[in-house]
Structure 1
Amino acid sequence: MLAAVRAGPSVLPGFLVRDELAGGRLVQILPEWQLPSGGIYTVYPAARFRPPKVTRFVEMLVAAEQQKGEGRER
């Protein structure tokens, strides 16, 4: 996807191109426009024992979403 963006105008979520924008390799042409936010949903079967990797993955998603929200407030 990044190669396509470098080749011409594209629409991608900011987290995919953050480093490219910061490094000046890409230029944001419509800074007031944003993709609609939809949140993140995790779906997994109910179980008495949930594998630790599933729990850690969900925790990682929650932390990333919280960090993303903090970035908007600044």
Structure 2
Amino acid sequence: MKIEVKDDDKVIIDDFEFYGHIEQEQFCSKCEFNLVYNEDFDAYFCPKCNLWTESQCSDPDCEYCPNRPEKPLPHK
């Protein structure tokens, strides 16, 4: 897996580009890989496990959760 940070607010993981950042002090509870924040869904995920670290909220008016895909990285 190749991870790049571009212009301090874009993250590219294996050609999948999104706005966010890599956390330097937060790690996956399963594999201890650095977590990544995705601004589009206001959520953190582990790129190695390809799992969100938090559940979707139950707010029907939430602008983030209803559109969040099951997996953070579509190509994994």
TM-score, normalisation: structure 2: 0.25
Q: Quick check: which one's strand share is greater?
A: 2
Structure of greater Rg: 1
